[in-house]
């Protein structure tokens, strides 16, 4: 079975017809009962009974009236059998004596709990995500799973756990995707959740990581590691720039012929320039004024 539209008619029109039928049947039954009582006519009582039966049937038919709100669907069941869904908002009349389950088609969102998971490198991390979704198939949402809202929440937590186990918190190689790569991780999480929730008639619009941190027991150690990595990266950049500046200075001096430097003096100049450029403290210049003789 699959989603299909249920039989329906204009509710205002059917309400007018049924009210008129009930009123007419009541009037006919009252007249026939009065005539039968005065004249003892059995046929009048029979007509009154038929009119009463028609009136009761019209009253039962009133149970087929249903109101469908915007962004809402009604799943219609007739004594346990699925006969269709009504997704168009308005006032309708459908098959009487049916069960009409309400399914919301509005966009919903929720945030998962903070989950503690080991990442791809084995480091414990805390992670949470927000999921935006809506029901697009009222039949599957009503019958494929017991509770589609709970189903989405459970599958979202499972997808977040799986995502955290296959990616590291920090990617030390360029060819690896880390949990901190927001766009790539969001696309991967959204795609996985769509596959997991399709059978429940759910469309996942967006899924994003909202909380990501190392677990408290290793947070301080990882902070020191990150700081050390940043210091090493900064020092590497400084050394690369200093070497380039020293090479440029020697090249300019040689091209312009300002001073002749032998290999020993070049080495001394390179050493001094590297100390000045790479040092993390201000340098103290030493001025050579020559030798003082008495």
pLDDT-based confidence at residue 35 (cuts at 50, 70, 90):
low
Percentage of the chain exceeding pLDDT 90: 47
**What confidence category does residue 278 fall into, taking pLDDT thresholds of 50, 70 and 90?**
low
Residue 69, pLDDT score: 94
Per-residue pLDDT, 88: 93
- For helices 42-61 and 11-39, angle between their N-to-C axes, nearest 10 degrees: 160
What is the model's pLDDT at position 244? 76
Asked whether 32 and 62 are in contact (CB, 8 A), the reply is no
Task: Give the list of residues 6+ apart from residue 50 with CB closer than 8 angstroms, or none.
Answer: none
pTM of the predicted structure, to 2 decimals: 0.70
| pLDDT class of 51 with cuts at 50, 70, 90 | confident
Average pLDDT over residues 127-131: 95
Q: What is the pLDDT of residues 197-220, one digit of tens each?
A: 999 999 999 999 999 988 877 656
Q: With 0-12 CB in 10 A as exposed, 13-18 as middle and 19+ as buried, what is 253?
A: middle
Confidence of residue 162 (pLDDT cuts 50, 70, 90): very high
φ, ψ of residue 138 in degrees (nearest 5) = -65, -30
Under a CB-based contact definition with an 8 Å cutoff, are residues 196 and 155 in contact? yes
Q: Which domains does the chain have, with CATH numbers?
A: 9-103 (no CATH), 108-216 (3.30.479.30), 219-278 (no CATH)
Reported as a single tens digit per residue, the pLDDT across 64-98 is: 999 999 999 999 999 989 999 999 999 999 999 99
What residues have CB less than 8 Å from 91, skipping those under 6 apart? 10, 11, 12, 65, 66, 67, 68
The residues near 7 (Cβ < 8 Å, ≥ 6 apart) are: 83, 84, 94, 95
**Distance in angstroms (rounded) separating the CA atoms of residues 189 and 210:** 12
**pLDDT at site 112:** 92
Residues of the chain by 3-state class (helix, strand, coil), percent to 5: 50, 20, 25
Report the pLDDT averaged over residues 5-19.
92
Q: Which residues contact 73 (CB under 8 A, 6 or more apart)?
A: 85, 86, 87, 102, 103, 105, 135, 138
Find the mean pLDDT for residues 266-291.
63
User: In whole numbers, what is the pLDDT of the chain averaged over residues?
Assistant: 82
Give the DSSP H or E segment for 206: strand 202-214
Average pLDDT over residues 145-168: 93
Confidence class of residue 158 from pLDDT cuts 50, 70 and 90? very high
User: What is the model's pLDDT at position 84?
Assistant: 93
Q: Which carries the bigger pLDDT value, residue 157 or residue 219?
A: 157
- Rounded Cα gap, residues 28 and 49, in angstroms: 10
Strand locations in 46-136, DSSP E? Answer: 65-68, 72-78, 81-86, 90-93, 99-104, 108-111, 115-118, 124-135
The CA-based diameter of the chain, rounded to the nearest angstrom, is 161
Tokens 């929730």 belong to which residue?
Answer: 197
Residue with the bigger pLDDT between 126 and 45: it is 126
Mean pLDDT value across residues 184-209: 94
The SS3 of residue 6 is coil
């Amino acid at each position: 079975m699959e989603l299909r539209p249920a039989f329906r008619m204009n509710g205002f029109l059917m309400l007018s017809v049924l009210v008129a039928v009930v009123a007419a049947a009541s009037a006919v039954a009252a007249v026939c009962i009065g005539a039968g009582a005065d004249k003892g006519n059995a046929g009048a009582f029979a007509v009154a009974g038929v009119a009463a039966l028609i009136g009761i049937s019209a009253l039962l038919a009133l149970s087929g009236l249903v109101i469908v709100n915007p962004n809402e669907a009604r799943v219609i069941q007739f004594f346990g059998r699925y006969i269709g869904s009504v997704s168009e908002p308005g006032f309708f009349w459908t098959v009487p004596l049916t069960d009409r389950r309400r399914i919301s088609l509005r966009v919903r969102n929720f945030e998962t709990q903070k989950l503690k998971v080991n990442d791809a490198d084995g480091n414990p991390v805390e992670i949470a995500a927000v999921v935006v979704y809506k029901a697009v198939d009222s039949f599957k949402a009503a019958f494929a799973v017991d509770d589609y809202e709970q189903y989405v929440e459970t599958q979202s937590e499972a997808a977040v756990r799986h995502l955290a186990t296959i990616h590291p918190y920090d990617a030390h190689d360029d060819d690896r995707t880390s949990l901190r790569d927001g766009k790539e991780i969001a696309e991967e999480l959204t795609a996985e959740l769509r596959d997991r929730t399709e059978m429940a008639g759910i469309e996942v619009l967006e899924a994003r990581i909202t909380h990501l941190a190392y677990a408290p027991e290793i947070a301080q150690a990882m902070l020191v590691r990150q700081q050390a990595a940043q210091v090493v990266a900064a020092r590497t950049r400084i050394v690369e720039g200093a070497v380039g500046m020293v090479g440029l200075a020697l090249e300019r001096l040689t091209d312009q012929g300002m001073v002749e430097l032998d290999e020993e003096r070049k080495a001394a100049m390179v050493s001094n320039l590297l100390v000045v450029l790479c040092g993390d403290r201000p340098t103290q210049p030493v001025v050579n004024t020559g030798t003082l003789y008495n």
